Amino acid sequence: MQSETFTRRTALPVAETFEEAAAASEAALRKPRSLWRDAARRFARNRLALVGTFIVAVLLTMAIFADDWFIALPLGRTPQPLIARTPYNKGFFGPTGAFPSREYWMGTDLNGRDLYSRIVFGARISLSIGLLASFLALAVGVPLGAIAGWWGGRADFLVMRLVDIMSAIPTLLFAYMIMARLGAGFWNVMLAIGLTSWINVCRLTRAQFLSLREKEFIEAERMIGASAWRIFRLHLLPNALAPIIIALTFGIPVAIFAEASLSFLGVGINPPMPSWGQMLGRDGITNMTYFWHLAFFPALMIALTMLGFTLMGDGLRDALDPRMIDAR
Amino acid sequence: MARYILMRLAGLIPVLLILSMITFALMHEVPGGPWKYGQRLFSDEQLAALKARYGLDKPVWQQYLIWLSGVVRFDFGMSFKHPDESVLGLIGRTWPTTMHLGAMALLVAFGAGLPLGIIAALKQNTWVDYGVTLLSTLGFVMPHFVWGILFILVFALALKWVPTGGWESPRQWILPVVAYSLAPMATIARYTRASVVEVMRSDYIRTARAKGLSESWIVRRHVLKNAMIPLLTVFGPIVPDLITGSIFIEAIFRVPGLGKFWVTSTLDRDYPMIIGLTMLWAILIAVTYLVTDVLYVVVDPRIRLK
């Protein structure tokens, strides 16, 4: 099966040089640490990963505190902008198409809305769709992959044929058709992206479970008569968790990219709700010969978001992969 | 080997059948139709006549069977949006431009990505490595429409080195090709680096060193050959992806190619075109995986096809 070469990387650490062996035995003499604490330590030492985490943290702050919905919603009043300067749909905040200045930090769009505020609210849309769609992909892909990998036989055959068919589908065309069927909107975008992106997670989980099934410690558990649920809970899930977390981290930027693409094409998020892809595709490219800021800032935000999540994912992968110990 | 290839191709038929059924059902589920979408150009009688002419008045399963009987005779029907062209004719007319763009992008992506990845791995943890990693991360994370827009802003509008779009002269090819090739180039460089690094740490490389072989011999004969094998699965899907075009690149740089139909066919409810494109993609993907698997056997004698 393809891509297994890159996914089956959770083998035990093998000391390849004398130094490595020495370091490993020294590590064994120190007080025992869990895989997760080791991973956290490695992650914290990785500068690029910290940069990525910082970008993601800033974006999350923008997304959550764009306005004070968490106070306003329970009180039943309209949310007031916090980080953003105006509500995202407030028109004629300034002159139409103003260039960036001290008054309008990123300029205003052609409806006179503050571009900075729309960019901040765009973070909320992008991040929530990225997270929700990735979790949806996980919710579909992990159980299917687990069933296929663990039971094998007919279940495996059926799931893998489904994966074959799904991977032969042109993703953009299908996502676009689903959007045309359901209509534009936040939840529909999330659904369209989630339903077209679970294949990788499914393949990965299957590969993990396939290789785990044959491991000695699983066989030992079976021998002492452990129930399937116990094996699943104590052994399969913890062992398959690291690659799944990595897949999730890499899935988020892919989903954000997909949302931006669909909105760019006009079937994702409808105005006045802002989305970076939509801002780029509607006003951005048609007016960029003159109003360059309408294209520049959304493009920058998409790139920064993708960069943040990718760096974080790289760091997580390196931290959670025991074979990467002492590689750097 | 021949038997294996034939078996794989035969296995493709049920996949295509099921896929075409799903697509057929889904595209007829999408509300609206090819002639009443947006504008009202036709009277009710005309509309009924048009529907009857193209068989859209029949139940969906009958339409599917009619379509299928055409496909057997290699007839994928006429495009609704371009009524004087068949689906195959339309694809045949627009695909060469897209393939031209895609082939050039592939050339740039592999021509730059492979050496970058190899150099980064050989000079691991030096500034060369960090530079390549930074470059490939940037290429990896920026959507190609973002690159396209930034390139136009900088090179066409600010510096005025190249035109903003069009597809007539080689000067107009530069920006779309570069914008289109950056993401695959980054992917290639990333995975090449990872694979070469992994091979460099393997036992047989240590043995080769211990035998006193020269470093360049080791790299050429042992490292590169073994590092390329796992990369086939990564490189394979890049090819169909690039030669089928991108609506973003074609829209931003005004390239008259196939890419736009991946979206406009659904927008126009051009049913024969939608399903024709789906089949085209499915066949391309299947052939790519088949070629990758066969190449595996060719480059690695340890692998046998079942």
Q: What string of H, E and C letters represents the secondary structure of A10-32?
A: CCCCCCCCHHHHHHHHHHHHCCC
With a CB cutoff of 8 Å and minimum separation 6, the contacts of A112 are A91, A92, A93, A94, A95, A96, A97, A98
Yes or no: say if B282 and B15 are a contact pair by the CB < 8 Å rule. Answer: yes
Question: What average pLDDT does this structure show over B247-275?
Answer: 85
Contact (CB<8Å) B149/A170: no
Task: Flag the least confident range among A6-20, A151-165, A192-206, A272-286.
Answer: A6-20
| Helix pair A115-151, A153-167: axis angle to 10 deg | 150
- Residue in chain A nearest B150 by alpha carbon: A296
Residue A16 pLDDT greater than 60, yes or no? no
Average pLDDT taken over every residue of chain A? 81
Q: How far is B130 from chain A (nearest CA, A)?
A: 11
pLDDT at residue B39 greater than cutoff 70 = no
Decide if B274 and A173 are in contact by the 8 Å CB cutoff: yes
Indicate if the pLDDT at residue A29 is higher than 60: no
For residue B249, give every residue at least 6 positions away whose Cβ sits within 8 Å of its Cβ, in sequence order, or none: B101, B144, B145, B148, B176, B179, B180, B255, B259
pLDDT for position A1: 37
Sheet strands (E) in chain B = none
Q: How far is CA A87 from CA A67, A84, A272, B109, B164, in A?
A: 8, 7, 11, 43, 35
pLDDT of residue B107: 94
Q: Specify burial of residue B160 (Cβ count, 10 A radius: 0-12, 13-18, 19+).
A: exposed
With 70 as the cut, is the pLDDT of residue A87 above it? yes
Which pLDDT band, with edges at 50, 70 and 90, does A82 fall under?
confident
Q: What is the C-alpha separation between A105 and A97, in angstroms, rounded?
A: 12
Does residue A172 belong to the interface with chain B, where contact is any CB pair within 8 Å?
A: yes
Residues in chain A closer than 8 A to B274 (CB atoms): 173, 177
> Residue range B257-276: average pLDDT?
85
- Find residue B86's DSSP bridge partners: B78
**Cα–Cα distance between A75 and A88 in angstroms, integer?**
21
Most confident of A108-122, A136-150, A210-224: A136-150
Q: What is the DSSP letter of A81?
A: B
Specify the range with the lowest mean pLDDT, choosing from A275-289, B26-40, B135-149. Answer: B26-40
Residue B10 has pLDDT above 80, yes or no: yes
Specify the pLDDT at position A325: 43
- List, for residues B206-252, the tens digit of each pLDDT value: 898 898 888 888 888 888 888 888 888 888 888 988 988 888 888 88
Q: Is A246 on the interface with B (CB under 8 A)?
A: no
The reported pLDDT for the residue numbered B305 is 66
Average pLDDT, chain B: 85
CA–CA distance, A35 with A41 (Å, rounded to integer): 10
Residue B220 CA to residue A198 CA, distance in Å, equals 39
Phi, psi for residue B56 in degrees, rounded to 5: -80, -5
Which of B17, B29, B140, B145 should be substituted to probe chain A, the one whose Cβ sees the most A Cβ atoms within 10 Å? B145
Q: Which residues have CB under 8 Å from A253's CB, separation 6+?
A: A130, A305, A306, A309, A310, A313, B141
Average pLDDT over residues A174-200: 87
Q: Does A306 reach chain B within 8 Å, measured CB to CB?
A: yes
pLDDT single digits (tens) B41-70: 677 777 777 777 777 778 888 888 888 888
pLDDT single digits (tens) B96-151: 999 999 999 999 999 999 999 999 988 888 888 888 888 888 888 888 888 888 88
Reply yes or no on whether the pLDDT at A2 is more than 70. Answer: no
Would you tell me which residues 245-274 of chain B have a C-beta closer than 8 angstroms to some C-beta of chain A?
A: 247-248, 251-252, 262-263, 265-267, 274
Inform me whether the C-beta atom of residue B137 falls under 8 Å from chain A C-beta atoms: yes
**Chain B, nearest residue to A173 by Cα:** B262
Q: Is the model's pLDDT at A164 over the cut of 80?
A: yes
Over 50: is that where the pLDDT of A12 sits?
A: no
pLDDT category, B171, cuts 50, 70, 90? confident
Specify the pLDDT at position B68. Answer: 85
At A11 the pLDDT is 43
The predicted structure's pLDDT at residue A28:
58
A128 — pLDDT class (breaks 50, 70, 90): very high
Element (H, E) at A177: helix A171-182
More confident residue, A223 or A77: A223
Give ipTM to 2 decimals: 0.80
Cβ under 8 Å to A: B residues 163-222: 164, 191, 194, 197, 201, 203
Say what the pLDDT of residue A140 is. 93
Q: Are A269 and A259 in contact (CB under 8 A)?
A: yes
Which residues on adjacent β-strands are paired with residue A81? Answer: A67
Residue A101 DSSP symbol: -
The residue that leads in pLDDT, A112 or B183, is: B183
What are the pLDDT digits (tens) for A195-220? 888 988 898 888 888 888 888 888 88
What was the pLDDT predicted at A218?
85
Lowest mean pLDDT among A117-121, B20-24, B149-153, B275-279: B149-153
Task: Give the whole-angstrom CA distance, residue B202 versus residue B218.
Answer: 12
CB pairs under 8 A between A and B: 124
